[in-house]
Amino acid sequence: MNAIISASELADALRSERPPVLLDVRWQLSTAAASGQPFDGRAAYASGHIPGAVFVDLDRELASAPSPRGRHPLPDLDVFGAAMRRAGVSAGTPVVAYDGGIGWAAARAWWLLRWTGHPDVRVLDGGLPAWDGPLETEASAPAEGDFVPKPTEGAVLDADGAAALARSGVLLDARAGERYRGEVEPIDPVGGHIPGALSAPTSDNVDADGRFRPAAELRARFGELGATRDVPVGVYCGSGVSAAHEVLALEVAGIPAALYVGSWSEWTSDPARPVAVGPDPQ
């Protein structure tokens, strides 16, 4: 099953006898909007969403509170499960997640559901800007779902696992290249990257409209970095959100990958962990 769905395919699916549950996961990394006010995903949802969609709060339902484990640690599974059931998610119901267009937040929801055992989850390619159908402003209240999250072994890396994978397989850094090289670091206390990690900005996985590049192009891109189905692959970013988008891109390319959820925000919380700077992975 393809991990992404186009807007036209979604419109057809919503008219089918088995329509998907819709998750609206609008979120921004920067809390400061152009107006100077913090971004409010719930307000964005209330101003207009795809009919039937339920708002999901990334910071509160798809992550735990910031801690030494990172800015967006794994959520408490009881909290996550309750949020999914509230949204109408059941084990046998297809799910489509979307966000404001960049795809990171929707990919985080996709990854969490896949990691916890849901078999049928996709991301709306291009997010809400790709949708040309009607919108509604009334909050949706679907019937309670029955999904119970059950984590999958091997899909999550911790700091030690990420360090080991950088030596034994392929560890991709999904942040912007200047953050990888340590030239700038707007969020975390230290710039640079995990020794051995390769720079692979997630922005290079999509076109100018925010839609994923064709699978063959993605396979070629990752193949040039040594990431193929034949080697273990992992991804990290700043806090495990944009890296989920890269895991999704790898899935589109047919390459399984693990996610280092704590990512750079966890790595740099321990000053004893080594840091590499510059374009050289080491």
Which residues are designated catalytic? Answer: 237
Q: With the CA atoms of 188, 101, 6 and 3 taken in that order, what torsion angle do they form, in degrees rounded to the nearest 10?
A: 10
Closest CA to 6 of 109, 95, 131: 131
Asked if 70 contacts 239 with a C-beta cutoff of 8 angstroms, the reply is yes
